[in-house]
A and B are shown apart, each in its own frame.
Chain A
């Protein structure tokens, strides 16, 4: 081992506040400082993932066939360790992408959706939205399937308004179970300073999903809009 530097075990104990006996060395050692900085990056990358699975709760009819029974607890638990992966293509209406990530559970196997992935009926997805601006507090999510049908997810209530953005790194509450409607699913995520409400937002979501620009009155509110086109193929997930 190194002549002088503490072990990674000692540095972890130092970093976690359990043992400060090597503080003087660490303060003056570029190698240890770099190691600790790298570990902080790892922690920042994954710390938010060590969140317990939300206890199963009654489905909120997020999707038209949202009762296929995929165990939410399993989805949540397995999501604990997912870290940043390639994201599906996004199109944004303003500024940098809202950095939406979608995690998919298929037959108990979890993965981040990448551009090469598709959906099957029975897949469960969870949506992670990074807050574009500190002042953004609300998110509204809907999707238009291949037949042009609009589904409202967040909020699921057709008369409801945007839900609060969860803390960084946490998914929106509840998973969405994919139905067998024709694909693709065009998911629209609108992040805003102030809540938007169904049904008024419905036409904007539908239009944006299909490639139209957002209405000027929404854009003037400083809205961040993301569209994810999620390929879908016939068949059911195992």
Chain B
């Protein structure tokens, strides 16, 4: 994409990035900062990016990883609850809705980074495992493994029943 094409495309994509960053980081200022960094990354890499679903998936992946990285490195762990009180931008995962805020934080803190990334796709975005594989670039098998670890952790923490 040319720089101008990217800027034009970002009018739609930018809102997606901002929403996700705000949602994961839990506040508007941090969401804005993260979104800005991603936009600047896009500008630096615009020649490598392709419009369409590929760019959308890339932005999902980059925004997820950047936000999780910020939560881990800047705050010593995922202490900030994932945000769900934005009107109309509720958690799209019924399973996640069964967990309270604190439970979800504990769950995220109990799993390693890649599994946490998968958890965001599943619980924040409500993706199917097939979509998680598409967005994350993982194999289907790898996604299944991460999902299993996530649910094992949830059961271990007493957050979900054995049948979950």
**Interfacial residues, chain A to chain B (CB-CB below 8 A):** 1-3, 5-10, 12-13, 15-16, 18-19, 34-35, 37-39, 41-43, 45-47, 49-52, 77-78, 80-83
Contacts and interface: CB of A to CB of B under 8 A. Distances in A.
A160 to B, nearest CB: 30
Nearest to B88: A38
Contacts of B12: 15-16, 43, 47
Given A1-B127, A5-B92, A50 B39 contact: yes
Interface string B124-137: 11111001000100
Interface string B48-66: 0000110011001000000
Contacts of B39: 50, 80-81
A43 B15 contact: yes
Contacts of A52: 3, 7, 43
Which of A5, A12, A15, A39 has the most chain B CB within a 10 Å cutoff? Answer: A12
Contacts of A13: 53, 56
Nearest to A3: B94
Contact of B128 (A1, A19, A45): A1
A10 B15 contact: no
Interface in B45-85: 52-53, 56-57, 60
A15 B15 CA distance: 11
B126 A81 contact: no
Contacts of A2: 92-94, 126
A42 B28 CA distance: 12
Contacts of A9: 56-57, 60, 121, 125, 127, 131, 135
Interface string B1-38: 00100010011111110110000000010001101100
B7 A7 contact: no
A7 B125 contact: yes
B93 A19 contact: no
A39 B23 CA distance: 12
B53 A35 contact: no
A55 B88 CA distance: 37
A-B CB proximity, top 10 nearest: A38-B88, A43-B15, A50-B14, A7-B127, A1-B126, A7-B126, A81-B36, A81-B32, A50-B10, A8-B125
A7 B131 contact: yes
A93 B129 CA distance: 58
B18 A1 contact: no
Which of B12, B87, B90, B94 has the most chain A CB within a 10 Å cutoff? Answer: B12
B88 A35 contact: yes
A158 to B, nearest CB: 35
Contact of A39 (B19, B56, B57): B19
A38 B56 contact: no
28 contacts: A1-B95, A2-B92, A2-B93, A2-B94, A6-B126, A7-B92, A7-B125, A8-B92, A10-B131, A18-B53, A18-B56, A35-B92, A38-B86, A38-B87, A39-B89, A42-B19, A43-B12, A46-B14, A47-B14, A50-B10, A51-B7, A52-B3, A52-B7, A77-B36, A81-B33, A81-B36, A82-B32, A83-B28
Contacts of A35: 88-90, 92
B154 interface: no
